[in-house]
Amino acid sequence: MMRLASVALVLGAWEWAGRKPVSPAFPAFSETMAAAWAMLLDGSLPAAVGITLAPLVLGIAISALLGIAAGVAMGLSSKAEWLGVPVFIVLQAAPLAALIPLLVLAYGVGLTSKVMTVCIMAVPVIVLNSFKAIRHTPVSMVEMGRAFLGSRRQLIAKIILPAASPIIFAGLRLGLAAGFIGAVLAELLISPTGIGDLITYNQSIADYPKMFAAIATVILLSVLFIGALDRVEATLFRPEKRGTR
């Protein structure tokens, strides 16, 4: 109920700010929804969403596989931690959007560059959360496994990974959000396709309701994807063991 009230408050403030107006380039919520409906009917919005989701889904899948593997390896090995953690801390803090022109030079303006953009935004977050999840496994649980003469493989498979999984899922949620940012950046900075094309084109012709409709669509997709991942986590783990940001 509180979530619905919060959403209603934000949308009401949006409608008021658009009707006041706070800026000629800021449409009301009702105008934005009318523009979104028009784009749904003419098929431009679904087509753009499909184009945007292709590099996003591929990039997130690659980021999840590589990121979790690297984070777990660094959490289990002090040598891997010594080599990898400083690099990913720098990557997380760096303005990675500045690397996009280099990706264009190396891979062109096609799908590869867009997937790489999603990866460079998502991987550092996933890696560092996975690393912290492994390192914050309760020591008492590991000692109990050793007391029962568990091998290193058994300790990892039956104690460390299950205990770390909720925090790893939290990292996946954050990585997914970063991946959406990377996907939109790729379409704005590499080649105007998908949702990025709708944003830049409608901005250029001053059709601000359609521009905001495209932006709102990206936000809605991000919320839906993160919500779906949250449901998967809630299904797999008890609520009291769910990861927090």
Task: Indicate the number of domains in the chain.
Answer: 1
Quick check: is 76 in a domain? Answer: yes
Using 50, 70 and 90 to split pLDDT, how confident is the model at 81? confident
Quick check: is 99 in a domain? Answer: yes
For 143-170, write each residue's pLDDT tens digit: 888 787 777 788 888 888 888 888 888 8
Instruction: Specify the pLDDT at position 239.
Output: 54
State the burial class of residue 53 (Cβ atoms within 10 Å of its Cβ: 0-12, 13-18, 19+).
middle
Quick check: is 170 in a domain? Answer: yes
Quick check: is 41 in a domain? Answer: yes
Distance between CA atoms of residues 111 and 105, nearest Å: 13
Rg (CA), the chain: 21
Residue pair 157/182 in contact by the 8 Å Cβ criterion: no
Distance between CA atoms of residues 196 and 134, nearest Å: 37
Quick check: is 19 in a domain? Answer: no
CATH number of the domain that residue 217 is part of: 1.10.3720.10
Domain of 181, in residue numbers: 30-241
Quick check: is 160 in a domain? Answer: yes
Residue 244 has pLDDT above 60, yes or no: no
Instruction: Specify the pLDDT at position 126.
Output: 93
Burial 122-132 (b: 16+ CB within 10 A, else e): bbbbbbbbbbb
